Chain A
């Protein structure tokens, strides 16, 4: 143990922490290990697995009001992902150009069951604006247009199965502020 003189007193110090610095090589070790961790990053297990046949999903969004903002559509393939609103199969956002819009997706989708959620993002912030009671202030729609019983519809009410080469779905936009059409 070395000692140095400070104010005429002998103060013991440790050689390694003389300049209050961690050893340089530790940064290299951290850098390399985090690089390795990221390099081994892999697709999570609950992401989409391609199905056997190729097919097309056409989603037509109707009853849009206003020409501002974006229509955001998400097609989910798994109940848990839909309930948590994460990791959809496809998420698409298109600028509104009329009262109906069409989205078409081709891929290895059949046979499979999917559910679609759409909303009309008028202010462009990427999120559905809700008031203090949780009622959305922007337009929203679901596949198979289920009757809303309070809250997000259940997966079983939305799910449609894709078997044919082309599957068409119609989604009617509902606006809580402008009167909900039956």
Chain B
């Protein structure tokens, strides 16, 4: 059981992890080549109760072309923590230069500043959502989540998915059952 469990866990880790840097002390910001600015209106569709806070991150495109999303702080334009509201929460980012951006939203219900997970590489117990209506099993790449700001106002709707709360912990039981049977 031990050897096979190790092999299966590493397979799960490799399959589900994404290479993302965590720390970067660089202060070079992405080159905003456009002088025109517009606003991005984000509609976050969450739970029916006003619980906890949303952590919203707006990431710009890297000038070199390879953007890590959410990545290190190098390409972050705005990071915001706001209390969650019932149903729809509207967040407006104004004076954003034209270009391509991606938005990540995490619903932190117990307000501890991070997304709680049972185990490092499982889905979070709290809510998460990304722009461009990508419903991920895994976090999307920057290209999948990118929206283009080329007008004075852009509206983006982000539904928050609560993976475990929707599927009722059944996938984790199945996963464990498979591992235990070996």
Q: Indicate which residue in A39, A43, A97 contacts B95 across the interface (CB closer than 8 Å).
A: A97
Chain B residue with the shortest CB-CB distance to A101: B95
Report the number of A-B residue pairs with Cβ-Cβ less than 8 Å.
Answer: 94
| A32 partner residues in chain B, CB cutoff 8 A | 169
B82 adjacent to A90 (CB under 8 Å) = yes
**Does A53 sit at the interface, judged by CB under 8 A?**
no
**CB of B10 closer than 8 Å to a CB of A:** no
A123 B116 Cβ-Cβ under 8 A: no
Partner of B172 from the list A31, A88, A122 (CB cut-off 8 Å) is A31
| Residues of B with C-beta under 8 A to A43 | 51-52, 109-111
Partner of B116, one of A41, A90, A95: A41
Which of B12-20, B24-32, B134-142 forms part of the interface with chain A?
B24-32
Complex contact B82–A94 (CB within 8 A): no
Q: Is the CB of B164 within 8 A of A35?
A: yes
B118 close to A (CB within 8 Å) = yes
Tell me if B81 and A95 are in contact (CB < 8 A): no
A side interface size, CB within 8 A: 38
Contacts of A97 in B (CB 8 A): 95
Chain A residues whose C-beta falls within 8 Å of the C-beta of B76 in the assembled complex? 70, 93, 95
Number of B residues with CB within 8 Å of any CB on chain A: 38
Find B51's partner among A42, A70, A107 (CB 8 Å cutoff).
A42
- Residues of chain A lying within 8 A (CB to CB) of residue B169: 32, 35
Interface centre among B50, B52, B83, B125, by most chain A C-beta atoms within 10 angstroms, is B83
Pairs across A and B, CB under 8 Å, 30 listed: A24-B180, A27-B180, A28-B173, A31-B176, A32-B169, A34-B118, A35-B164, A38-B116, A38-B118, A41-B109, A41-B125, A41-B126, A42-B51, A42-B110, A43-B111, A47-B111, A50-B50, A70-B73, A91-B80, A93-B76, A93-B78, A94-B77, A95-B76, A95-B77, A104-B94, A105-B82, A107-B85, A124-B27, A125-B23, A126-B73
The 7 closest A-B pairs by CB, nearest first: A93-B79, A91-B81, A41-B110, A38-B125, A68-B27, A92-B80, A124-B27
